[in-house]
Structure 1
Amino acid sequence: MTAQNKTARLAGLTYLILVICGILSLLYIPSKLIVWESASKTLENITNFQQMFRLGIVSSIITFLAFLMLPLILYKLLHKVSEVHARLMVIFALVSIPLSFVNILHKFSILSLIEKPEYGQQMGATELQTQVMLQLEYYNNGIQLSQIFWGLWLLPFGYLIYKSGFLPKVLGILVMLGCFGYLITFFGGFLDSNFHDTILSDIVGIPASVGEIGICLWLLIMGTNKMSFRKKVVKNA
């Protein structure tokens, strides 16, 4: 196995960890615990299933650690295709990391509210429920802001895939489209409170999902084409 293939498979493995932990922390666990229409039910769920809530926090930390490493590994693999685009890819991805980690503090605040009886005694049940829901809202706002950079990094990444000569061009196109999907989701949701109820909201996220999972599996299973990689490097030398 060539060094390039090892790098590609490491990137694929890191991407897979990111995808699995991201789905767990951003979709699955919140769907089991959070009932936006009922603050009392949400507090009850988090209190009764605290280990699941903690697992969500751990999954978030692993997700963002993987996202910290992934662009650096991809840079090693793709920087000879285009140094400028490779650097932009890394910058856009890494900008989101501090924001994402600071955002997790809202979930730690929820644990503090639940675990310390004095808070419940001083605030009362209704106020405690309100504070928990506010922390969840703050967390969601942080996630939405992070989506800007989760989208922006895909544009140079998709371009690098497309121009690489050793990765499928169609995946590069899907990943680039995914950039605009993230941006449309953020600005659409921010400007129109009903945006997430529209069919457009469901459609714009498809290219990113297909493209990112596709390139993740391709890197993990297929790696790179040795001959194409060498030709590309020689051409850009």
Structure 2
Amino acid sequence: MVNFEKNKQFHRKYALTAGIALIIMALAASFSNGYVQGKLVVPNDATVTFNNIISSTALFNAGIFGWLLIFICDVVVAWALYIFLQPINKNISLLGALLRLSYTAVLGVAILNLVFVSLLSSSTDYLFLFGEQQLQTLILLLLEAFHFIWSIGLIIFGGHLIIVGYLAFHSKQIPKIISILLMIASLGYIAIHLFITFLPYFDVMIKTLKVIFTVPMILGELGFGLWLLLQGGKYPIKKG
């Protein structure tokens, strides 16, 4: 009975850690990628994007803070899920954690581009150094570099979700619908961002893939996060 209670508390702690971090990431992504990027960045329009950023520097920097929060939470989730899922298969769980950490490293490189944009737009010295048109073009290029590098990382992230979905499917406690949604989401991330990265001119295909996979991607990750918060670890995770 004592060992059961210890195992229960152990698993519950890591389930809560992963669940809370996943929810924080979802909120931060909605703000930084959804609100800030949607409000300030106008694709293929360097002038409007530049003017939006220099007139809303605090908002843009808040978006960067959100991305840094996502970066930190990704590291926490990789660690917590590795420990939480290792009773199912330790080696596969480790592979999943390494894939997520690899994705996080790529995300970190992508975020640097946003930091450079913030530095370039925060001082008039760069305006005199580069000239207005060149500076606007450079900022738009850095924003595009952020999305390109992040897309490469999301292909790796899709591999991580395959691992998590597989482990979830082979557990007794995690609902099968969540594991299936996670595996569908993983295919969505891989397919969408392979096209965005290597075949960006196939706009119709990219839009079609987003229509097909967006709902499973949201439901899979958010559903797993909520399950971890509400039910994860109440009983020690076991292989089913």
Q: TM-score under structure 1 normalisation? A: 0.91
66, 73, 91: which one aligns with 2:80: 73
Matched, 1:15 2:22: yes
Deviation at 1:215, TM superposition (A): 0.6
Matched, 1:83 2:87: no
Distance 1:225 1:102, change over 3 A: same
Q: Distance in 2 between matches of 1:139 and 1:192?
A: 15
Matched, 1:119 2:104: no
Q: Does the 8 A contact of 1:195 with 1:201 survive in 2?
A: no
150, 153, 167: which one aligns with 1:146: 153
In structure 1, the residue matched to 2:58 is: 51
Q: Which moved more, 1:162-171 or 1:182-191?
A: 182-191
Aligned length: 231
Q: Distance in 2 between matches of 1:7 and 1:91?
A: 17
Matched, 1:28 2:32: no
Structure 1, gaps ≥5 residues long:
none
Deviation at 1:126, TM superposition (A): 1.2
Q: Distance in 2 between matches of 1:180 and 1:9?
A: 26
In structure 1, the residue matched to 2:233 is: 224
Deviation at 1:37, TM superposition (A): 3.7
1:159-213 CA deviation, whole Å, 9 max, x = no partner?
Answer: 1111111111110011011111111101222324114663233212322211100
Q: Which moved more, 1:41-50 or 1:196-205?
A: 196-205
Q: Secondary structure at the match of 2:47?
A: helix
Runs of 4+ in 1 over 4 A off after TM superposition: none
Distance 1:10 1:122, change over 3 A: closer
Matched, 1:213 2:208: no
Q: TM-score under structure 2 normalisation? A: 0.90
In structure 2, the residue matched to 1:191 is: 199
Matched, 1:132 2:129: no
Q: Distance in 1 between matches of 2:205 and 2:44?
A: 16
Q: Secondary structure at the match of 2:216?
A: helix
Distance 1:39 1:192, change over 3 A: closer
Deviation at 1:67, TM superposition (A): 0.4
> Taking CA–CA contacts closer than 8 Å with sequence separation of 6 or more, which of the two structures ends up with the larger relative contact order?
2
Q: Does the 8 A contact of 1:162 with 1:172 survive in 2?
A: yes
Q: Secondary structure at the match of 1:86?
A: helix
153, 178, 181: which one aligns with 2:185: 178
Q: Distance in 1 between matches of 2:147 and 2:205?
A: 14
Q: Secondary structure at the match of 1:223?
A: coil
Q: Does the 8 A contact of 1:188 with 1:195 survive in 2?
A: no
In structure 2, the residue matched to 1:156 is: 163
96, 101, 105: which one aligns with 1:94: 101
Q: Quick one: which amino acid aligns to residue 221 of structure 2?
A: E
Q: Distance in 2 between matches of 1:57 and 1:163?
A: 37
Structure 2, gaps ≥5 residues long:
none
Deviation at 1:95, TM superposition (A): 0.8
Q: Secondary structure at the match of 1:36?
A: coil
